[in-house]
Structure 1
Amino acid sequence: MIWWLALAMVAAGCGQAEPVVKIGFVAPLTGDQAAHGADMLHGVELAIADAAAEGPVLPGYRLELVPLDDQRNPAQAVSMAKKLAADPAVLAVVGHLNSSCTKPASAIYHKARLLHTNPVSSNPDISRQGFDTFFRVCATDDLQGPAGARFAWQTLGARRVFIVDDLTTYGRGLANEFETAAQGLGFSVLGHEGITQGEKDFTPLLTKIKALGPDLIYFAGMFPEAAVLIRQRRDLQLSAKFLAGDGVYEPTLITLATPEAAEGVYVTALGADIHTVPTANTFVEQFERRYGRLGAYSAYA
């Protein structure tokens, strides 16, 4: 793989006035999930700065980051992937955030023979496509879903759960993994319904859930919708605990939901808190000195 990359870098630099090796980055940089995208972008920026400080990756060439916005939209993700694939100086891509964007884009990168590293898209089917250009640094939802179910059963003591997902590749996949594991543990699954990203009123759904008397709501989706669910759950005085997947792992959630409503919410993550990893101390210090608070997925990117 190193030999292949070296040859590709030489080919990409031929004929350019200022030889560069370009690294593509794609994530939602605008819209309601931009907080995740910006945190990932900062991680990549820091990695490239560190690499440049150590000297050229290939003598005579410099690294250049090409950040693009997929707007958390699969069609836009494919468009951005094609744009990177059309540039012969682009040799590798870091992205995307959402599994629904990563999966179709990965096929574009594979066809173009671009090295594709993914920080956080956790749907297991992405890597089951068999693309030898795809590498992922996070755990997958066939691990996260069952782990969440075990935590709910063993630690929270929950027995009656209602499952909600956002109908995306990530959300539905994670919810199904959780549901299968929950049934195996002996949970009473009272229902499983989907919502649409961007919705602002979940009162009818939450009213239905309250009438069923669950002791847990499990949500597989992203933090903007989770914030609305959490806030409206409190307004309805729905006492069920709230557990969500890693798409909700974002400090902005507390502000959006209000600290009062977010208190007591549980979230699973795809790895250990980076602040607890001794070998990551230098990275954390450099990142927080340059950008402020470390994002949920900055270290993965």
Structure 2
Amino acid sequence: MPHKSFNKGVLAFAVASAMSLSSFAYADVVIGVAGPMTGGNAAFGEQLWRGAEQAVADINAAGGINGEKIKLVKADDACEPKQAVAVANRLVDSDKAVAVVGHFCSSSTMPASEVYDEAGIISITPASTNPQVTERGLTGEFRMCGRDDQQGVVAGDYIVDTLKAKKVAVIHDKDTYGQGLADATKMELNKRGVKEVLYEGLTRGEKDFNALVTKIRSTGAEVVYFGGLHAEAGPLVRQMREQGVTAKFVSGDGIVTDEFVGTAGGAQYAKGVLMTFGADPRQIPDGKAVIEKFRANGYEPEGYTLYSYASIQTIAAAFAGAKSTEGAKASAWLKANPVSTVMGKKEFDAKGDLKVSDYVMYEWDDAGKYKQL
């Protein structure tokens, strides 16, 4: 009898110890960062990773979240929907992530967010602008950026009011983001009385757009609006200029990387290109110290870098405020409370969208840099 009791005691101790060790092993708050870490849009993946990495370093140095340190896990979706689903499942099942910053492309964010929602974890996309990202009733899906139906209005109004264009060619890349943004801009143009002279799609990954440029030239377009990413926008604008098409080139936040200049063949081709993007976060006083830290390390926090940093801050605030890493609790807290970030105070509505969108127009200059107009 004593012998059996001893065995039970040992067994109970062993189980308790194992549970304790297990809890200790997973004490870190694991957050995934998902986006195109390789491929033609890897520049954006780097922006997401750099922003998240610096935010985690700063938050951990200040004590972490509820006394626990954050551990980042990188997930490469290459802006491919099937790959996005695969890495989402890996983040949930293998990495035990309790939150995700990502994805970048709307076509990746939408299927991946279904995985996160089923797992009950919170996710914040710094960059996916398609309205359907937050229109599907998912509990824990948020975005740190605006929506295409907001961005398209700004672009359409600028084309009509400032550029005074009557002939506009609308081109898109057939992707969830690119076509969605092009359609939102076209809708605003039509609403303002401008009917597009051409509406056509190209294929992501292509580089030879000369046949399309010939078609654009035949329409006499004064403005070419492109919904898509820099990998296609660059060659398109270069080939337009090489064929003597002088129409103003306007695009969206998918070209907000210095790599746009390289894909265009140099600053001489990028010069004068217009794009919509949120008000430059590098000009917001709240982020001054962080921006200086990035620059001191030789990195310019362009594009979505600070959006990613702010996304990590938002997740940390939600977990701290809810006193839990449970997605439902963190989500409820976030929809009821403002968050202070490097991009200023952010508030979210019941869908997970920002209550305030701040899209403005930018122009690329002859030095290959974009500046807010």
Instruction: Give the alignment's TM-score, normalised by structure 2.
Output: 0.75
Structure 2 distance, partners of 1:12, 1:174, is 50
Secondary structure of 1:230's counterpart equals helix
Deviation readout 1:108-162 (Å, 9 max, x if unpaired):
0000011101101000111001111111111100000111000111111211100
- Report the residue type matching 1:129 in the other structure: R
Structure 2 distance, partners of 1:124, 1:12, is 44
Kindly indicate whether the alpha-carbon contact (under 8 Å) linking 2:207 and 2:232 is maintained by their aligned counterparts in 1: yes
User: Which residue is 1:255 aligned to?
Assistant: 262
Structure 1 distance, partners of 2:89, 2:246, is 47
Kindly indicate whether the alpha-carbon contact (under 8 Å) linking 2:33 and 2:48 is maintained by their aligned counterparts in 1: no
Kindly indicate whether the alpha-carbon contact (under 8 Å) linking 1:166 and 1:220 is maintained by their aligned counterparts in 2: yes
Query: What is the 5 A alignment of 1:142-291?
Result: 142-257=149-264, 258-269=266-277, 271-291=278-298
User: Which residue is 2:33 aligned to?
Assistant: 25
1:262 CA drift (Å): 1.1
Gaps of 5+ in 2: 1-18, 309-373
User: Which residue is 2:91 aligned to?
Assistant: 84
Gaps of 5+ in 1: 1-10
Kindly indicate whether the alpha-carbon contact (under 8 Å) linking 1:21 and 1:89 is maintained by their aligned counterparts in 2: no
Secondary structure of 2:200's counterpart equals strand
Deviation readout 1:243-271 (Å, 9 max, x if unpaired):
001101111111221111111111111x1
Structure 1 runs of 4+ with >4 Å offset: 11-14
1:58 CA drift (Å): 3.0
1:53 CA drift (Å): 0.7
Instruction: Give the alignment's TM-score, normalised by structure 1.
Output: 0.92
Are the structure 2 counterparts of residues 189 and 56 from structure 1 closer, same or farther at C-alpha, using a change threshold of 3 Å? closer
Identity of aligned residues (%): 36
- Of residues 24, 42, 46 in structure 1, which corresponds to 2:50? 42
Secondary structure of 2:43's counterpart equals helix
Structure 2 distance, partners of 1:27, 1:260, is 30
Secondary structure of 1:299's counterpart equals helix
Which structure is larger by alpha-carbon Rg, 1 or 2?
2
Are the structure 2 counterparts of residues 88 and 244 from structure 1 closer, same or farther at C-alpha, using a change threshold of 3 Å? closer
CA RMSD of aligned residues (A): 1.6
Structure 2 distance, partners of 1:57, 1:200, is 46
User: Which residue is 1:3 aligned to?
Assistant: none
Kindly indicate whether the alpha-carbon contact (under 8 Å) linking 1:13 and 1:20 is maintained by their aligned counterparts in 2: no
* Structure 1, 151-160 or 120-129: larger mean CA deviation: 151-160
Structure 1 distance, partners of 2:208, 2:51, is 34
Structure 2 distance, partners of 1:109, 1:177, is 28
1:297 CA drift (Å): 0.2
Are the structure 2 counterparts of residues 63 and 153 from structure 1 closer, same or farther at C-alpha, using a change threshold of 3 Å? same
Secondary structure of 1:128's counterpart equals coil
Are the structure 2 counterparts of residues 125 and 70 from structure 1 closer, same or farther at C-alpha, using a change threshold of 3 Å? same
Kindly indicate whether the alpha-carbon contact (under 8 Å) linking 2:73 and 2:95 is maintained by their aligned counterparts in 1: no
Structure 1 distance, partners of 2:128, 2:56, is 21
How many aligned residue pairs are there? 289
- Report the residue type matching 1:62 in the other structure: K
- Report the residue type matching 1:74 in the other structure: P
